[in-house]
Chains A and B, each alone.
Chain A
């Protein structure tokens, strides 16, 4: 009984700590409910796709795919091209996805082959691989674009004539997906104000009498995320998905059963990389600015952090973990600076506290996972030895 209770606490320690901290930080921040809901909805729409792309490699027993930054880089290359060509709106986003897909596939195959040579050390290998490909990406973007690869838009290039600027405006595709089906939730008073300001345009206006404030919902983004969730649920039931789950349980058993382990692992990484490419495009269309040399780094770290905070581990993650993680992680982002300011009079203290707690907890999650895995191995070894082994 005590052991069971201990297991429940150990399994949910990370989300529990975050819920506890949020419970203290939300009242301290002084933000209204509608503001928090608006911010959270925006961030869920912005980040969920990227985090969902991590699920398939976990299913295949490859741990957290730090190599998702490769996909993010592919997406950014697609975005740079559409910025140069001046393709805007939804066609621009889809074209960026089309350009990014083959790059993501090639990088995914490369990453998958490397990870097959480093079985059991996938996370650290993919993390370092991310740095290596980042070097290649920087060479392409900083030296080849505008010199070997034609870039005709002078606003994209550095003053020397080649290499892309550090910050690129994505004004052509900014929030195009989020505002594709404009939806607003407000009360009757807010609806009147909204109609006065915006006019009776083509948007869904949902009136809730008890709701205080006005929030905009990125409905089209949520529909795409929902479709992605359905895809993951469906994919788990396919032959390939079952193969991946079998490999995740035990590679040697899967190999004995005739499953092509290496090929399936490569497919898992390719799917994850391609989806990370799309996720990064969705993320950046919401942000509206591309930080050419840093955006992808942040994407990988934040997605993995959010997934772990949602209660996932290196070997097990679900769609629920993704949404719990994105809510808790980004709730801390929103409330921590203001809570710190109201508590100590310094917003930076709150931000330091958030960074310290967030990443400290990620470290604890990884240590807990390693400890639990060692304990399970020890238990399995003990059970194999039987009673004689204990003697």
Chain B
């Protein structure tokens, strides 16, 4: 009787372990397969003025040419991506090149920012390029919805 009960418990335990493993696999797939929109914003933010021209590529993909006060959007898969920004002067010469690796789930948001459920769930972000080029840390701002 006791052995039968143990077998019953063992069977359910095995089932629970498999179920937990499948749920964990689902969460991991969600984490690595999630597509995020990365908005590229070349507008003045605070003291950082909009750049004359900046060419931006994400994960070595297609280059977006953004003039002052323009915005672009890129799609990235997974929580981590690399952004490369080349800043041009008025003569069309490259004056600065910035490469930065960003992990979306490790972004530190400003404490006063009001999150809602949809925002946390979507994890789309916007990168303010003038702030990024200036070497400041708070170049990531919430994406427009």
Residues of A within 8 A of B (CB): 85-92, 94-95, 98-99, 152, 172
Shortest CB-to-CB span from A230 to chain B, Å, is 23
Whether A86 and B25, one on each chain, are in contact in the complex, defined by CB atoms closer than 8 angstroms, is no
Q: Which residues of A sit under 8 angstroms from B26, Cβ to Cβ?
A: 95, 98-99
In the complex, besides A86-B34, A87-B34, 14 extra interface pairs with C-beta distance below 8 angstroms are A85-B34, A87-B33, A88-B35, A89-B33, A89-B77, A90-B33, A91-B30, A91-B33, A92-B29, A95-B29, A95-B33, A98-B22, A99-B26, A152-B121
Question: For the complex, what is the distance from the CA of A95 to the CA of B77, rounded to whole Å?
Answer: 15
- Please list 22 pairs of residues, one from A and one from B, whose beta carbons are closer than 8 Å in the complex, sorted by A's number: A85-B30, A85-B34, A86-B122, A87-B29, A87-B30, A88-B33, A88-B34, A91-B29, A91-B30, A91-B32, A91-B33, A92-B33, A95-B26, A95-B29, A98-B22, A98-B25, A98-B26, A98-B29, A99-B26, A152-B118, A152-B121, A152-B122
Q: Which residues of B sit under 8 angstroms from A90, Cβ to Cβ?
A: 33
Q: Which residues of B sit under 8 angstroms from A152, Cβ to Cβ?
A: 118, 121-122
Nearest 7 CB-CB pairings of A with B = A91-B33, A91-B29, A87-B33, A95-B29, A86-B35, A88-B35, A98-B26
Residue interface bits B29-70, CB-to-A below 8 A is 1, else 0: 110111110000000000000000000000000000000000
Q: With A85-B34, A86-B34, A152-B122 as given contacts, are A94 and B29 in contact (CB-CB < 8 Å)?
A: yes
Question: For the complex, what is the distance from the CA of A50 to the CA of B122, rounded to whole Å?
Answer: 33
Shortest CB-to-CB span from A168 to chain B, Å, is 15
Who on chain A is nearest to B33 by CB?
A: A91
- The residues in B between 1 and 42 inclusive whose CB is less than 8 angstroms from any CB of A are 22, 25-26, 29-30, 32-36
Who on chain A is nearest to B19 by CB?
A: A102
Question: For the complex, what is the distance from the CA of A267 to the CA of B140, rounded to whole Å?
Answer: 52
Q: Which residues of A sit under 8 angstroms from B34, Cβ to Cβ?
A: 85-88
Q: Which residues of A sit under 8 angstroms from B30, Cβ to Cβ?
A: 85, 87, 91, 95
B22, B77, B118, B121 — which one has the most chain A CB atoms within 10 A of its CB?
Answer: B77
Who on chain A is nearest to B25 by CB?
A: A98
Question: For the complex, what is the distance from the CA of A98 to the CA of B33, rounded to whole Å?
Answer: 14
Question: For the complex, what is the distance from the CA of A98 to the CA of B28, rounded to whole Å?
Answer: 12
Q: Which residues of A sit under 8 angstroms from B122, Cβ to Cβ?
A: 86, 152
Question: For the complex, what is the distance from the CA of A7 to the CA of B26, rounded to whole Å?
Answer: 52
Who on chain B is nearest to A94 by CB?
A: B29
Who on chain A is nearest to B36 by CB?
A: A86
Residue interface bits B120-133, CB-to-A below 8 A is 1, else 0: 01100000000000
Question: For the complex, what is the distance from the CA of A94 to the CA of B36, rounded to whole Å?
Answer: 19
Question: For the complex, what is the distance from the CA of A2 to the CA of B126, rounded to whole Å?
Answer: 79
Shortest CB-to-CB span from B22 to chain A, Å, is 6
